[in-house]
Amino acid sequence: MAFSKRCAGALASLACFCLSQGAAGAGQKSHGELALDVIDSHILPRVQELETAAGRLAADLEAFCATPGDPKLRSRAGASFKETVRALGAVDFLRFGPLTEKTRLERFYFWPDPRSVASRQLAALLAERNPALLEPGAFAGRSAAVQGLGALEIILDDTAQPLAAEGEDAHYKCAFASAVGKNLAAIAGEIRAAWSGPHGWRAKMLEPGSDNPLYRDASESAREIVKSLLVGLQLAQDRQVVPRLESVTAAPPKPARLPFARSHLGADYLESALRSLEAMFEATGLIAYTPADKAWIRDWVRRAFDSLLTDAAAVRQFDREPSGDAKSLAMLRRMRFNLNGLRQIVNRVLAPAAGLILGFNELDGD
């Protein structure tokens, strides 16, 4: 009864009922099909990529610290760090399930960090040189700020005392970086494992029912997924594009506070997120619910994602040389417009047409 009340009139009620029962129209996915396709074709492969990338990073850091003077091993560790950053960008907007349980997201990457907590706590720990911190699982009781990619980025970017330096301080620092790498691999492994098995998050979302405390029907699973898509679009807009725009339009201009700015991987992080969001949108099949009187949406969505990916590539140059020239401002404003437009289309048109009333997402009020 509560579900049908959200539909206006008898025909809308019947349509909503059919969608919830898996009897969607031609070319349109039911809520259960939407959840299944997104989880199996999009989420699980990218969760596996995160585990693989973090595992490779841990192995490369360990190898380098065993032979800290080898430039090839140092370069390999840097490449693995970049790969892990990109792998995180492809999943970090999934603000539900295994990624958010046990503060895994914060432990994997503590950001935003406006008070530089990671730098201060990391400096104290490195000065302490406590060998117990190098043991497996030792980070479990420590601050999230020193457990993940943020702390590792600070260490890898330290030109004053690079990992290849000699001396006890440098050796401990490299061992600490290696321990952080292993911690990242462990967290990524937990995320992947928590999606799997008869009691994993995949089963929870694909087997809804009255005895499921999280998802009572397929529409709730589908709604969770589409809300995460909106969260991703909003994160890209509010935490990546808008700060860049505000930094060059401020009087006087000021540095933008961006993820992975220290390692100059902010553009990679953004591009990876955008590619993942486009692929996730396609996996939902929501475009099939485009109303007949809004046929323009199909072409607009495709062009918006194409434009965003083109502009994301240009952001690399912008980050190296921030500029308030007309071309740069037009690029950033175009990205903001496209991200906001995609969010509005999904939230106000496509999701309701698919029988999904989303309400607020977790970023509302930030």
Q: Tens digit of pLDDT per residue, the chain (366 long)? A: 443 444 443 334 334 444 444 445 668 999 999 999 999 999 999 999 999 999 999 999 999 999 988 999 999 999 999 999 999 999 999 999 999 999 999 999 999 998 999 999 999 999 999 999 999 889 888 899 999 999 999 999 998 888 877 888 889 999 999 999 999 999 999 999 999 999 999 999 999 999 999 999 999 999 999 999 999 999 999 999 999 999 999 988 888 899 999 999 999 999 999 999 999 999 999 999 999 999 999 999 999 999 999 999 999 988 988 888 999 999 999 999 999 999 999 999 999 999 998 875 545 544
Domain check: are 233 and 290 in the same one?
yes
User: CA angle 272-154-248, nearest 5°?
Assistant: 60
Q: Show Cβ contacts of residue 80 under 8 Å, excluding neighbours closer than 6 positions.
A: 53, 56, 57, 60, 61
Give the CATH number of the domain where residue 146 resides: 1.20.1420.20
Backbone angles phi, psi at 215, to 5 degrees: -135, 110
363 falls within a domain: no
Domain check: are 216 and 274 in the same one?
yes
E strand map for 178-273: none
User: Peptide bond preceding 112: is omega within 30 degrees of 0, i.e. cis?
Assistant: yes
One-letter amino acid of 49: E
One-letter amino acid of 206: L
Domain check: are 13 and 123 in the same one?
no
Q: Show Cβ contacts of residue 94 under 8 Å, excluding neighbours closer than 6 positions.
A: 43, 228
362 falls within a domain: no
**What total number of domains does the chain contain?**
2
Domain check: are 21 and 131 in the same one?
no
Domain check: are 67 and 144 in the same one?
yes
- The b-or-e profile of 260-278 (16+ CB within 10 A means b, else e) is beebebbbbbbbbbbbbbb
Here the tokens at position 137 are 């699982």
13 falls within a domain: yes
CA distance 340 to 253: 24
User: Peptide bond preceding 252: is omega within 30 degrees of 0, i.e. cis?
Assistant: yes
Domain check: are 309 and 238 in the same one?
yes
Domain check: are 113 and 191 in the same one?
yes
Domain check: are 81 and 172 in the same one?
yes
Conformation bin of residue 206: beta by default, left when phi > 0, alpha when psi is -120 to 50: alpha
298 falls within a domain: yes
148 falls within a domain: yes
Q: Which domain holds residue 63?
A: 52-199
Domain check: are 265 and 323 in the same one?
yes
Here the tokens at position 127 are 């000065």
Last residue of a domain, one of 199, 231, 246: 199
